[in-house]
């Protein structure tokens, strides 16, 4: 206990000293109004410290290995070319592209195709520097840091990330791709990307958010995204995480919906050593629709933890949540899905399901679907299933001349495809198919 307490104090001191250094390098940024939130957030982090397994929300996810590493803020980035980023793009698909390397925006690798002059697709540092009133009004107003250490840490070090503002009555034709690449070969690092996405009244957009490791190195990505949908806005959001197996990937996503808006999320986690996704969806007005779909795969000693909250605040709303996972070797999974229906949220329709395949005796999943219902006129259901590959189906494929590795890969893909088929962008779906199938083949041979 004494060692743990000493380590916690030492870790907090490390990040506090990092903040002093960060503050000294802001070049005038410390004079901006947002910097007061940074200071409040670092003070809150000093008070909270990193969560431990004594915290119910972190009971099955031990972040002590992360806390014991003294990651420095990224100071140098590798010089990448267009050829280097090509493997992470989506064929010939036209896309608005924002590229970040080790958390830093790379303008020469990025491009914006949107023709409407009122659409803002930019990096956050530029928006803050230029005094954007819209970004200042919304930034850090949804993802609260008072009780969340990692959000507090991100807010304290928030400097760059994506700022997207789609004004009213606009459809963004080309998808917006937020590409985050990480390379810790030269030195391990910490990055704290902050994303702010605003979709106006009667507007539509498609968003791709992807995280990739350029090599198998250790680093720490701590991401916070705030997404706001105005009345009748539609957003399809595909999130891909395929980081280094030595990386720590912590993310928080806060989505706020207005009346008649539709938000659809498809999340795919394939990489990372320790991965934690906190995802809060607030259906804050009548007739909203929220769809959360996810697929995760882990092997070796990976840990993937998905914590979701769907918050039904107003009546006549619908939510659908379906997560699937495949765990092999000594991998661990956590799914904690909570649906809350407030007293005023009559006529709510909420569906939640989590399914997981365990491919070894040592793989482990902790699944906790939850419903909290305070209204009496609702339709809600939830469930969780855990199983293994069907031996009869495997025998059927083998009997038709299909090799064991290929048969295993086919059955795993069939399990995952229900989620992947939700993606409404063919080039993205095809690329993900290739990534997932390649992972299955690799694991089947292991």
**pLDDT of 392 over the 90 cut:** no
pLDDT level of residue 383 (50, 70, 90 thresholds): confident
Query: For the chain, what is the mean pLDDT?
Result: 91
Residues of the chain with pLDDT > 70: what percent? 96
Distance CA 235, CA 305 (A): 24
Band of pLDDT at residue 1, cut at 50, 70 and 90: very low
What mean pLDDT do residues 321-333 have?
96
pLDDT (average), residues 35-50: 94
Provide the angle, in degrees to the nearest 10, between the axes of the packed helices 34-48 and 2-24: 170
- 292 vs 390, residue with greater confidence: 292
What does the pLDDT read at residue 26?
86
Contacts of 298 (CB under 8 A, 6+ apart): 269, 304, 325, 326, 327, 328, 331, 332, 333
- Stretch 380-396: mean pLDDT, rounded? 79
Compute the half-sphere exposure of residue 32: CA atoms within 13 Å on the CB side of its CA: 24
Rounded Cα–Cα distance for residues 297 and 409 (Å): 13
Half-sphere exposure of 21 (CA within 13 A, CB side): 10
């Amino acid at each position: 206990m004494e060692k743990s307490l000493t380590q916690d104090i030492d870790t907090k001191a490390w990040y506090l000293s990092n903040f002093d250094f960060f503050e000294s390098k802001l070049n005038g940024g410390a004079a901006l109004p947002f910097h007061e939130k940074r200071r409040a957030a670092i003070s809150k982090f000093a008070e909270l410290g990193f969560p431990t397994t004594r915290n119910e929300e972190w009971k099955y996810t031990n972040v002590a290995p992360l806390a014991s590493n003294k990651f420095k803020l990224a100071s140098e980035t590798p010089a990448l070319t267009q050829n280097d980023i090509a493997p992470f793009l989506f064929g010939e698909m036209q896309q608005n592209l924002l590229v970040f390397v080790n958390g830093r925006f790379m303008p020469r690798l990025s491009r914006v195709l949107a023709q409407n002059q009122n659409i803002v697709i930019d990096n956050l540092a530029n928006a803050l520097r230029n005094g954007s009133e819209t970004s200042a009004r919304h930034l850090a107003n949804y993802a609260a840091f008072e009780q969340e250490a990692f959000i507090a840490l991100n807010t304290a070090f928030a400097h760059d990330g994506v700022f997207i503002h789609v004004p009213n009555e606009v459809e963004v034709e080309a998808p917006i791709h937020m590409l985050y690449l990480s390379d810790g070969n030269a030195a391990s690092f910490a990055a704290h990307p902050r994303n702010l996405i605003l979709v106006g009244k009667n507007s539509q957009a498609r968003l791709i958010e992807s995280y990739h490791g350029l090599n198998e190195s250790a680093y720490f990505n701590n991401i916070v995204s705030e997404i706001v949908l105005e009345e009748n806005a539609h957003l399809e959001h595909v999130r891909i995480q395929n980081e280094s197996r030595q990386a720590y990937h912590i993310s928080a996503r806060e989505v706020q919906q207005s009346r008649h808006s539709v938000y659809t999320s498809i999340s795919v986690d394939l990489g990372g050593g320790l991965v934690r996704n906190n995802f809060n969806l607030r259906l804050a007005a009548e007739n909203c629709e929220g769809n959360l779909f996810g697929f995760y795969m882990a092997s070796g000693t990976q840990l993937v933890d998905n914590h979701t909250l769907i918050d039904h605040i107003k009546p006549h709303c619908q939510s659908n949540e379906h997560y699937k996972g495949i765990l092999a070797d000594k991998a661990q999974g956590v799914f904690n899905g909570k649906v809350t229906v407030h007293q005023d949220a009559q006529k709510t329709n909420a569906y939640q399901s989590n399914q997981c395949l365990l491919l070894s005796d040592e793989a482990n999943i902790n699944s906790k679907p939850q419903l909290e219902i305070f209204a009496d006129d609702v339709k809600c259901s939830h469930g969780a299933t855990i199983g293994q590959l069907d031996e009869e189906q495997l025998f059927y494929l083998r009997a038709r001349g299909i090799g064991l590795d290929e048969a295993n890969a086919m059955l795993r893909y069939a399990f995952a495809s229900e989620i992947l088929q939700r993606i409404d962008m063919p080039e993205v779906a095809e690329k993900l198919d290739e990534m997932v199938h390649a992972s299955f083949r690799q694991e089947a041979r292991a």
